Amino acid sequence: MIILGIDPGIGRVGYGLVEKIGSQLKAVTYGCIETPKTDDHGLRLQMIKTDLGKIIREYKPEVIGVEKLFFQKNVKTATAVGEARGVILLLCSESGARVVEIGPGQVKQSMTGYGNADKKQMQQMVKIIFKLEKVPQPDDAADALAVAYAAAVLQ
Protein backbone atom coordinates (compact mmCIF):
# COMPACT_ATOMS: atom_id res chain seq x y z
CA MET A 1 0.00 0.00 0.00
CA ILE A 2 1.30 3.47 -0.90
CA ILE A 3 0.47 6.29 1.51
CA LEU A 4 1.02 9.97 0.75
CA GLY A 5 1.44 12.46 3.59
CA ILE A 6 0.94 16.17 2.95
CA ASP A 7 1.97 19.16 5.05
CA PRO A 8 -0.12 21.95 3.48
CA GLY A 9 1.16 25.46 2.88
CA ILE A 10 1.11 28.20 0.27
CA GLY A 11 4.85 28.89 -0.10
CA ARG A 12 5.82 25.31 0.51
CA VAL A 13 3.81 22.08 0.48
CA GLY A 14 5.63 19.13 2.01
CA TYR A 15 4.96 15.66 0.65
CA GLY A 16 6.15 12.25 1.75
CA LEU A 17 5.34 8.86 0.28
CA VAL A 18 5.67 5.66 2.25
CA GLU A 19 5.06 2.06 1.33
CA LYS A 20 3.39 -0.22 3.84
CA ILE A 21 4.19 -3.91 3.45
CA GLY A 22 2.55 -5.87 6.25
CA SER A 23 3.51 -3.92 9.36
CA GLN A 24 6.70 -2.48 7.83
CA LEU A 25 6.92 1.09 6.54
CA LYS A 26 9.50 2.32 4.07
CA ALA A 27 10.04 5.89 2.84
CA VAL A 28 9.68 5.96 -0.95
CA THR A 29 10.30 9.65 -1.65
CA TYR A 30 9.74 13.06 -0.11
CA GLY A 31 10.19 16.72 -0.90
CA CYS A 32 8.45 20.04 -1.27
CA ILE A 33 6.42 21.89 -3.83
CA GLU A 34 7.51 25.52 -3.66
CA THR A 35 5.72 28.56 -5.03
CA PRO A 36 7.34 31.99 -5.44
CA LYS A 37 6.11 34.74 -3.12
CA THR A 38 6.21 37.12 -6.05
CA ASP A 39 3.61 35.17 -8.04
CA ASP A 40 -0.10 35.88 -7.99
CA HIS A 41 -1.97 33.91 -5.30
CA GLY A 42 -4.18 32.14 -7.85
CA LEU A 43 -1.12 31.08 -9.84
CA ARG A 44 0.49 29.69 -6.69
CA LEU A 45 -2.62 27.60 -6.00
CA GLN A 46 -2.52 26.34 -9.59
CA MET A 47 1.15 25.36 -9.20
CA ILE A 48 0.29 23.36 -6.09
CA LYS A 49 -2.57 21.61 -7.90
CA THR A 50 -0.44 20.81 -10.96
CA ASP A 51 2.66 19.59 -9.12
CA LEU A 52 0.79 17.59 -6.49
CA GLY A 53 -1.40 16.11 -9.23
CA LYS A 54 1.75 14.80 -10.97
CA ILE A 55 2.91 13.13 -7.76
CA ILE A 56 -0.50 11.53 -7.19
CA ARG A 57 -0.69 10.26 -10.78
CA GLU A 58 2.86 8.86 -10.65
CA TYR A 59 2.65 7.04 -7.31
CA LYS A 60 -1.11 6.31 -7.14
CA PRO A 61 -1.46 6.36 -3.35
CA GLU A 62 -4.32 4.40 -1.85
CA VAL A 63 -4.42 6.62 1.24
CA ILE A 64 -3.56 10.31 1.54
CA GLY A 65 -3.04 11.94 4.92
CA VAL A 66 -3.46 15.72 5.00
CA GLU A 67 -2.46 17.61 8.12
CA LYS A 68 -5.15 19.81 9.64
CA LEU A 69 -4.28 23.43 10.28
CA PHE A 70 -3.52 24.65 13.73
CA PHE A 71 -4.51 28.16 14.80
CA GLN A 72 -2.45 30.85 13.11
CA LYS A 73 -1.92 34.29 14.68
CA ASN A 74 -1.49 35.86 11.25
CA VAL A 75 -4.96 35.87 9.66
CA LYS A 76 -3.60 36.63 6.17
CA THR A 77 -1.28 33.60 6.34
CA ALA A 78 -3.99 31.37 7.81
CA THR A 79 -6.38 32.32 5.00
CA ALA A 80 -3.79 31.66 2.28
CA VAL A 81 -2.83 28.30 3.78
CA GLY A 82 -6.51 27.41 4.22
CA GLU A 83 -7.12 28.10 0.54
CA ALA A 84 -4.13 25.96 -0.43
CA ARG A 85 -5.40 23.20 1.85
CA GLY A 86 -8.80 23.39 0.12
CA VAL A 87 -7.17 22.92 -3.29
CA ILE A 88 -5.15 20.00 -1.88
CA LEU A 89 -8.21 18.30 -0.33
CA LEU A 90 -10.21 18.65 -3.55
CA LEU A 91 -7.38 17.23 -5.66
CA CYS A 92 -6.87 14.33 -3.24
CA SER A 93 -10.59 13.55 -3.14
CA GLU A 94 -10.77 13.57 -6.93
CA SER A 95 -7.90 11.05 -7.09
CA GLY A 96 -10.07 8.31 -5.64
CA ALA A 97 -7.68 7.72 -2.72
CA ARG A 98 -8.99 7.53 0.82
CA VAL A 99 -8.31 10.95 2.39
CA VAL A 100 -7.53 11.13 6.10
CA GLU A 101 -7.29 14.48 7.86
CA ILE A 102 -4.91 14.35 10.80
CA GLY A 103 -4.34 16.96 13.49
CA PRO A 104 -0.81 17.99 14.50
CA GLY A 105 -1.26 16.44 17.95
CA GLN A 106 -2.27 13.11 16.39
CA VAL A 107 0.83 13.16 14.19
CA LYS A 108 3.08 13.88 17.17
CA GLN A 109 1.36 11.21 19.28
CA SER A 110 1.77 8.55 16.59
CA MET A 111 5.44 9.42 15.97
CA THR A 112 6.71 9.96 19.51
CA GLY A 113 3.98 8.78 21.87
CA TYR A 114 3.71 12.38 23.09
CA GLY A 115 1.19 14.81 21.60
CA ASN A 116 3.26 17.89 22.45
CA ALA A 117 6.60 16.76 21.01
CA ASP A 118 8.76 19.55 19.60
CA LYS A 119 9.94 19.86 16.02
CA LYS A 120 13.42 18.42 16.70
CA GLN A 121 11.96 15.32 18.38
CA MET A 122 9.63 14.80 15.43
CA GLN A 123 12.43 15.17 12.90
CA GLN A 124 14.66 12.72 14.76
CA MET A 125 11.84 10.17 14.94
CA VAL A 126 11.25 10.49 11.17
CA LYS A 127 14.96 9.81 10.62
CA ILE A 128 14.95 6.81 12.98
CA ILE A 129 11.64 5.23 11.92
CA PHE A 130 12.42 5.42 8.21
CA LYS A 131 16.13 4.57 8.70
CA LEU A 132 17.29 7.69 6.87
CA GLU A 133 20.88 8.92 6.93
CA LYS A 134 19.79 12.45 7.85
CA VAL A 135 16.69 14.41 8.73
CA PRO A 136 14.76 15.29 5.55
CA GLN A 137 15.04 18.93 4.53
CA PRO A 138 13.30 21.28 4.40
CA ASP A 139 11.26 20.71 7.57
CA ASP A 140 8.03 20.47 5.56
CA ALA A 141 9.26 17.26 3.90
CA ALA A 142 10.00 15.68 7.30
CA ASP A 143 6.58 16.83 8.53
CA ALA A 144 4.91 15.23 5.50
CA LEU A 145 6.64 11.90 6.17
CA ALA A 146 5.36 12.12 9.75
CA VAL A 147 1.82 12.71 8.41
CA ALA A 148 2.19 9.68 6.11
CA TYR A 149 3.35 7.61 9.10
CA ALA A 150 0.35 8.73 11.16
CA ALA A 151 -2.01 7.92 8.29
CA ALA A 152 -0.44 4.45 8.00
CA VAL A 153 -0.78 3.82 11.74
CA LEU A 154 -4.45 4.88 11.64
CA GLN A 155 -5.19 2.22 8.99
The three-state secondary structure class of 3 is strand
Q: Phi and psi dihedrals of 118, rounded to 5?
A: -85, 175
Burial 117-150, CB ≥16 within 10 A → b, else e: beeeebbebbbebbeeeebbeebbbbbbbbbbbb
* Residue 67 annotated in active site: yes
Contact 151, 102 (CB under 8 A): yes
Catalytic residue among 34, 118, 140, 143: 140
Nearest to 152 by CA among 58, 75, 80, 61: 61
140 included as an active-site residue: yes
Of the candidates 34, 39, 62, 67, the residue annotated as catalytic is: 67
**Which one from 7, 34, 58, 62 is the annotated catalytic residue?**
7
- The reply to whether 143 belongs to the active site is no
Distance of alpha carbon 140 from alpha carbon 57, whole angstroms: 21
Phi, psi of 78 (to 5 degrees): -60, -40
**Using CB atoms within 10 A of its CB, is residue 10 exposed (0-12), middle (13-18) or buried (19+)?**
buried
- Active centre residues (catalytic): 7, 67, 140
